[in-house]
Amino acid sequence: MGIKFKYNKTELQELTKQLRIRRTALPTIKHKESALRLEVRQARKRAAELQLQIEETLQRIDYMASLWSEFDFSLLKIKDVEMRIRNIAGVKTPVLEEVKLEGKKMNLFGQPAWYPDGLLILKKLAFQSVEQAFFVHKAELLDKARKKTTQKVNLYEKVQIPGYKEAIAKIKHFLEDQEVLAKAAQKILKNKKMRLQT
């Protein structure tokens, strides 16, 4: 992307101002990028940890697989997931506050004796599953914002700042040439006047 400019002092001042703005903003944008990169890494790590916990819980109850076929899964459902918004490096990201579960009343006399334990296991899996899905989503949001920030850093570092520097150098060179030509023209005019007077 070439910087469009005119060869005059006003344009030189404007380009110098734009260059200064980008040089000043670049460290902040780089800091934002590194902060987002760290947050993405942490969210992915937490999602992986939760996935491992879910798999471990499922392996621990694998011996009960035949019992689960008779379990009444309608006894428990996710009622609500409460979140709040937190600003991380200028990006609004969700923070999981609470997972609300809703359970039906259960008649313990009419159910197998392991149902209360099964209900506790199911609650734990529900919490872990919601939290794991939440961190996967959070990592995706933050990674998208990080990619945009990386693009902006690259745009500033590799395109705009060098482009403005080059444009400023061209304008300065042009103005210097104009000044030299103007002085030379004045000198020639002065010499002509001197010859005419003599």
Residue (of 172, 187, 184, 195) closest to 7 by Cα position: 172
Mean pLDDT over 124-135 rounds to 92
| Mean pLDDT for all residues in the chain | 88
What residue type is 178 in one-letter code?
A: Q
What domains are defined for the chain?
9-189 (1.10.287.3240)
- Model confidence, pTM: 0.76
Is the predicted pLDDT of residue 174 greater than 70, yes or no? yes
pLDDT single digits (tens) 27-62: 999 999 999 999 999 999 999 999 999 999 889 888
Residues 6+ away with beta carbon under 8 Å from 78 = 99, 100, 101, 102, 126, 130
pLDDT single digits (tens) 74-108: 777 888 889 899 998 888 888 888 888 887 776 66
